A and B are shown apart, each in its own frame.
Chain A
Amino acid sequence: MNLYEMSATKLSKMIKSKEISALELTNSIFSRINSVEPKIQSYVTLCEEDAIKTAKLVDEKISKGEKTSPLAGIPIGIKDNICTKNILTTCSSKMLHNFIPPYDATVIKKLKNANAVITGKLNMDEFAMGSSTETSYFKTTTNPYNTNCVPGGSSGGSAASVAAGEAIMSLGSDTGGSIRQPASYCGVVGLKPTYGSISRYGLIAFASSLDQIGPITKSVDDSALLYSIISGQDPLDATSRKVNHIDWDYNFSDISMIKGLKIAVPEEYFSDQIDDDIKEAVFNVIKMLEKNGAKISKISLPSTPHALSAYYIISSAEASSNLARYDGVHYGYRSENYSTLTEMYENTRTEGFGNEVKARIMLGTYILSSGYYDTYYKRAKLLQSKIISEFQETFKEYDVILTPTVPTPPFPIGAEINDATKMHSNDMNTVASNISGIPAISLPCCLNKDALPIGFQLMCNHFEEEKLFKIAKCCELLIGNIKLPNI
């Protein structure tokens, strides 16, 4: 097995025991990047020099016998909407093509404190709006399982890089499914943590009340590892909350907890819009769990079909305000073609944003306009409380909700970019957890007949990440690893 194919948990032990050096690992990742990046296109910016420096520092610490974090020396890629001091942070937009933040996001500070090796900045849909990375101003990332297909999005670069061995793990962000959908598409593990459990300080906002940073990894262990390092209340983020420290047992292999586990399977998540292959694959997982003693119950979450509408209203409203600051005055792109202030604003925004972003800004502006606010925003907020209460009721009776992550397998590049409704329906099973703030994880369960990954989703109640990880780990043990992509 090549180093780039291994999990962080395993590599961490190997570095600590000096079986390998952090430098060897970092070099292995960068040589992998050199060989596959032309096909995968997952990075916007590479940080090889700094990565090597950090790796050497870790080796030095270990040779001196200093105590190191389990993340020390682990190569981690960062979605390009998370601010990194002195490193280009573009949101894959022309608008921020030259933006170099003067500060580190809180999660980056935590990674740096842990001496994690930051490999570079990963491609995404522009301002995290999209499900394929095709709205990126720079490039479209491909799916490592089939480079003619999209990797999903918006954290497409984050998922593809991990699946392709261009990073051991990565950080993505998830507003409506942007971690879990690409994780599902690329056959990796993607966690959307509870809203407020990871600081958003330094995450360039799309929809502030829904955005969450989360890990994309090869295994549940790795997900728990990265989550345990980056979670926690941050004085710089007023919406962050105290979280229970996760004391994760990396040797955890006891699937006996499946016995008696109350699993809810909501019918709305298995609608006609879900591909039959996917339904079958997810039912197989359910059967396997049932065989091991889980209690499976079909339930109904009747508001879920409306979650997507609420999501587009709330997220677009917030986006229209969050993205207003890109006006050409202070940083980023500025049109050269203007003679008045208004013209500078208009031309900068016309030229600097792509179509998907512009569509959402216009939608959000309309929604918040006087006379429409009550019709759209207020009703969406009401729907949001309804969705939350449906989940609360469900978790009174059940431990976990199990659903397919996405309705369809990875689609060919170009197939949906001009069909907004189809593209947006990618999020139908993922948005409800953003709307309600609960944690959700996507795990790979198998490859379909076209050798493309299929994922399924587990959701638990607010701040129940540890429980979610345990259930996910059991599933992982039962399912086994899926075949790695052949690039």
Chain B
Amino acid sequence: MSNKYDLVVGLEIHAELSTNSKIYCSCKNEFGLEVNSVCCPVCTGMPGTLPTLNKKVVEYAIKMGLATNCKINQISKQDRKNYFYPDLPKAYQISQSDIPLCENGYLDILLENSKTKRIGITRIHIEEDAGKLLKTDKFDVTLIDFNRCGVPLIEIVSEPDIRSIEEAKAYLETIKSYLTYLNISDAKMQEGSIRCDVNVSVKPKSEKNLGTRCEMKNVNTFSGALKAIEYEYQRQIDILESGGTIKQETRKWDEKSSKTIAIRSKENAQDYRYFPEPDLRNISVDDKTIQKIFSEIPEMPNHKAIRYINNFKLPQADAKLIANHIQRATLFEKTYELNKNLDVKMIANWILTTISEQVNKTSKNYLEVITPENLSKIISYIQNGHISTSSGKKIFKQIVSDNSKSIDQLIKDLGLEQISNADELENIVIKVLKENEKSINDYKNGKTNAFGYLVGQCMKATKGKGNPSIIKDTIKKHI
């Protein structure tokens, strides 16, 4: 980061909501179905059809609004945003312009060293998604898939409060985790269920007023958004340094060349001719509904992460990795709840390594891979020396493929019970030491790895079941 210029970023995030049906008709809202199989006269904008608002969409948007501390407008309006594009069959998108459902909220993002920063949320409004243009080599034309037409979206607009790439990243991750926490969006970037418009400006550090901004439309990946911000920051500084001025314009992030490209200047900005949607009534929400939705909001991931850091002394990276993912967090918390004597760091490690690997390998989610009960038992057995860590992993693998047997049964069946009886182990150690006098001498002469060899020999003698820490202590006692 330049020490002469500040980076100023505002983000507009569009998230597809995971309601059962679309926003203005009863078509199924599902990704990945056969082309043009979920569309009807309403969402394809046939002449004479009319929209009717799906109440769930309002509920979901309010949920996000309340989670981000927004004011909920009890009366809000829907408006038409007019523009021509083949993927927009009515030639207007129903959105909200001057009176959105939610406004004036904020979100605390977690930065390095457990610092937090508050990012303002300007507004959250509801709108409909457009279709998708398909270009195939098979035909010499562009085809249109209407399945996405009318998929409900919320647009979350931030204040220009983001001042670094790190903050942008934390903000995007927090928004994503909020969406999944509230169970209102799949938040899958690869399916296009979250997209964002990125506004970037720079200003000399001494300057109070914000600089002229450029907007990058429809950035489809988080990493793309971060790269676009970085590129734009440097581009704008270069212009200012060479004595130029920044022109307000719309630019495009080009993933291939890793550059932003100007597409429209301010003078040619599209005039969307917003006006109130005459086919729909105002949206009115009463206090009771807002209260009810509020009561359904769980502890949010950024707050969880802070709690994990403060209460459990988890490293920040681990705390975030667990908290941002609702299933990881659920598994983590439930496992701990079952036995508060467990080593929380060990639970965190298990979730982030062994279990996470398994989740990535299969299409199962965390709670399908292992129950909190089983995880709690495995970790407590490791902790009290009943089984070794490697045995614990063996048991875990068994459970993943077949969870019909109990942990205790598996330990018995696989013969994994650890030998922790000190007397029994001492006899074995003494025997091994007798057979390996050379190694003892090596160790005494400073070859530290000879100690490891001796431990290995003892483990071999116990067929891997000896408690390594007891073995280590016993060896030390005898040499």
Query: Which A residues are closer than 8 A to B by beta carbons?
Result: 81-83, 89, 91, 96, 99, 101-103, 105, 200-205, 207-209, 235-239, 317-318, 320-321, 324-325, 327, 329-331, 341, 345, 365, 368-370, 373, 377
Contact = CB atoms under 8 A, between A and B. Distances in A.
Given A102-B46, A205-B279, A368-B275, 5 more contacts: A238-B51, A318-B278, A329-B86, A329-B89, A330-B89
A325 B50 contact: no
Nearest to B279: A208
A228 B49 CA distance: 23
Given A102-B41, A238-B281, A239-B279, A200 B47 contact: no
A336 to B, nearest CB: 15
Contacts, number: 100
A368 B91 contact: no
A327 B144 CA distance: 14
Contacts of B46: 83, 101-103, 331
Contact of A330 (B45, B80, B92, B274): B45
B378 to A, nearest CB: 54
Interface string B50-91: 111100000000000000000000000000101010100111
Interface in B4-55: 41, 44-53
B250 to A, nearest CB: 16
Interface string B268-282: 000101110011110
A365 B90 CA distance: 15
30 contacts: A82-B48, A91-B47, A99-B47, A103-B41, A105-B48, A200-B50, A201-B50, A204-B48, A209-B278, A237-B50, A238-B279, A238-B280, A239-B279, A239-B281, A317-B275, A320-B82, A320-B273, A321-B92, A324-B84, A324-B90, A324-B91, A325-B90, A327-B91, A329-B86, A329-B89, A331-B47, A345-B84, A368-B82, A368-B273, A373-B275
Interface in B334-353: none
Given A238-B279, A341-B86, A101 B47 contact: yes
B91 A205 contact: no
Contacts of B82: 320-321, 324, 368
B281 A201 contact: no
A110 to B, nearest CB: 15
Contact of A370 (B44, B49, B84, B273): B273
B52 A236 contact: yes
A91 B86 CA distance: 23
A237 B50 CA distance: 6
A367 to B, nearest CB: 9
A91 B275 CA distance: 25
Given A208-B279, A317-B275, A330-B89, A236 B50 contact: yes
Dominant secondary structure of chain B at its interface with chain A: loop
Contacts of A370: 271, 273
A238 B46 CA distance: 17
Contact of A208 (B89, B273, B278): B278
Interface residues of B, number: 28
Interface of B: 41, 44-53, 80, 82, 84, 86, 89-92, 144, 271, 273-275, 278-281
A172 B80 CA distance: 27
B265 to A, nearest CB: 16
Nearest to B275: A368
A96 B48 CA distance: 12
B273 A201 contact: no
Contacts of A96: 47
B92 A324 contact: yes
B315 to A, nearest CB: 52
A10 B43 CA distance: 43
B48 A202 contact: yes
A324 B144 CA distance: 18
A101 B47 CA distance: 8
Contacts of A81: 48
B278 A201 contact: no
Contact of A365 (B47, B48, B273, B281): B273
A61 B390 CA distance: 81
B13 to A, nearest CB: 25
Contacts of A82: 48
B273 A101 contact: no
A327 B53 contact: no
The 3 closest A-B pairs by CB, nearest first: A324-B91, A368-B273, A208-B278
B92 A201 contact: no
A95 B280 CA distance: 26
Contacts of B90: 324-325
Nearest to A378: B275
Contacts of A377: 275
Given A209-B278, A239-B281, A321 B50 contact: no
A208 to B, nearest CB: 4
Contacts of A208: 278-279
Contacts of A235: 52
Contacts of A89: 47-48
